[in-house]
């Protein structure tokens, strides 16, 4: 599928970054950042996801169709999460029984 | 394959959604429950799984370059690391049984009043559902790897025909990405809140 072949060095570098990020996210979990601990933990997770998908899954060299499918999928995931949480967070706001 | 992975994203997405809602509803209980999990094994397992992703991508690279022996070696390494991950997972689950952290009649989480035990059971139900489903994906992945190893030994994969290796790689990396999110959500978040809210 992907014509481009990455060098061994690239993969090892990406792997090293992933390990470092794992260490950072574990260490920072013990620091009290208040509400930001969630943001930092998920931010690092997203960075790791990007590294794995772009390099290990070859998204970097993939066709536009593949990228479109991936972005579309993540968009729908975002819709599912945000819509449900919007519903959940605003229940009872109206003060109407059953709402 | 990408379309399949998108369906998988939605599949796991539902569980992440359930987790988010209950964590938002009972944040203190979830913090205590999450902190009861041993962080070391989880972190070590993350490294193991990332390592297996590295060997997997090297297997794909070997297939692209047509290095027959290297494909087999890297696939076997990936399988071994996946096995280590599942083994550690089994040890972690065993601990949960010993500590009565399995949702059920004998469930008891230290440091929580009786009326909050039920909420803690919710956390562990989600913990087992999410890690269990992830482990199931790993087992399926291991089956795929074993098949590929046999095929690769026969020299089936060449630079012109390596789609099975490529696609198995995508699947394996996807399972890795799921763990990348599970690890902070289940093990890490709110670990700094040491004091149980009594």
Tens-digit pLDDT profile for residues B17-49: 999 888 888 888 888 888 888 888 899 999 999
Q: Do A3 and A49 belong to one domain? A: yes
| B120 closest CA partner among B37, B184, B41 | B37
DSSP assigned state of A61: G
Count of structural domains within chain A:
2
Q: Do B39 and A29 touch (CB under 8 A)?
A: yes
Mutate to test the interface with A, among B7, B39, B177, B178 (most CBs of A within 10 A): B177
Whether B181 contacts B25, CB under 8 Å: no
> What pLDDT, on a 0 to 100 scale, did the predictor assign at position B150?
93
> What pLDDT, on a 0 to 100 scale, did the predictor assign at position B172?
94
Q: Do A87 and A40 belong to one domain? A: no
Q: Do A26 and A69 belong to one domain? A: no
| B28 closest CA partner among B89, B112, B104, B96 | B112
Q: Do A2 and B193 touch (CB under 8 A)?
A: no
- How many residues are listed for chain B in this entry? 198
> What pLDDT, on a 0 to 100 scale, did the predictor assign at position B194?
52
Q: What percent of chain A has pLDDT over 90?
A: 44
Q: Do A8 and A54 belong to one domain? A: yes
> Per the domain annotation, does A99 fall within a domain?
no
Mutate to test the interface with A, among B30, B57, B81, B166 (most CBs of A within 10 A): B57
Q: How confident is the prediction for chain A on average, in pLDDT?
A: 86
Indicate if the alpha-carbon torsion angle A75, A78, A84, A90 is positive or negative: negative
> Per the domain annotation, does A98 fall within a domain?
no
> Per the domain annotation, does A85 fall within a domain?
yes
For residue B197, pLDDT over 50 is answered with no
Q: Do A56 and B169 touch (CB under 8 A)?
A: yes
Q: What global pTM score does this model have?
A: 0.88
Per residue in A9-34, pLDDT (tens digit) is 999 999 999 999 999 998 888 887 77
The CATH number of domain B2-23+35-188, selected from 3.30.1490.20, 2.60.40.290, 1.20.120.80, 3.60.21.10: 1.20.120.80
Bridge partners for B161 per DSSP? B158
Q: Do A12 and B10 touch (CB under 8 A)?
A: no
B53 interfaces chain A, CB cutoff of 8 Å: yes
Range of the domain at A22: 1-61
The H helix count followed by the E strand count for chain B is: 6, 0
Q: Do A31 and A69 belong to one domain? A: no
Q: Do A49 and A78 belong to one domain? A: no
Q: Do A34 and A69 belong to one domain? A: no
Q: Do A57 and A70 belong to one domain? A: no
């Amino acid at each position: 599928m992907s014509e481009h072949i990455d060098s061994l060095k690239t993969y090892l570098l990406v792997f090293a970054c992933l390990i470092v990020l794992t260490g950072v996210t574990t260490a920072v979990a013990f620091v009290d950042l208040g509400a930001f601990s969630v943001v930092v933990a998920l931010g690092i997770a997203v960075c790791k996801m990007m590294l794995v998908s772009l390099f290990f899954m070859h998204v970097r060299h993939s066709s536009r169709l593949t990228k479109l499918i991936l972005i579309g999928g993540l968009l729908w995931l975002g819709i599912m999460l945000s819509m449900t949480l919007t519903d959940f967070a605003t229940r009872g706001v109206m003060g109407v029984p059953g709402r | 394959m990408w379309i399949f992975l998108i369906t998988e994203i939605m599949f796991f997405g539902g569980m992440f959604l359930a987790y988010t809602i209950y964590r938002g509803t009972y944040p203190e209980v979830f913090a205590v429950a999450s902190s009861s999990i041993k962080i070391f094994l989880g972190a070590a397992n993350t490294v193991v799984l990332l390592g297996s992703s590295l060997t997997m991508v090297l297997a794909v690279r070997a297939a692209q370059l047509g290095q027959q022996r290297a494909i087999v070696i890297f696939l076997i390494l990936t399988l071994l690391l996946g096995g280590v991950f599942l083994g550690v997972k089994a040890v972690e689950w065993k601990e949960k049984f010993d500590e009565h952290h399995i949702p059920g009649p004998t469930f008891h989480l230290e440091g929580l009043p009786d009326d909050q035990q039920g909420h803690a059971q919710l956390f562990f139900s989600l913990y087992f559902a999410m890690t269990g489903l992830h482990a199931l994906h790993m087992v399926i992945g291991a089956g795929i790897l074993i098949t590929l190893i046999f095929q690769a030994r026969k020299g089936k994969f060449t630079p012109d025909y390596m789609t099975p290796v490529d696609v198995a790689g995508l699947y394996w990396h996807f399972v890795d990405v799921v763990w990348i999110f599970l690890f902070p959500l289940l093990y890490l978040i709110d670990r700094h809140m040491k004091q149980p809210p009594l």
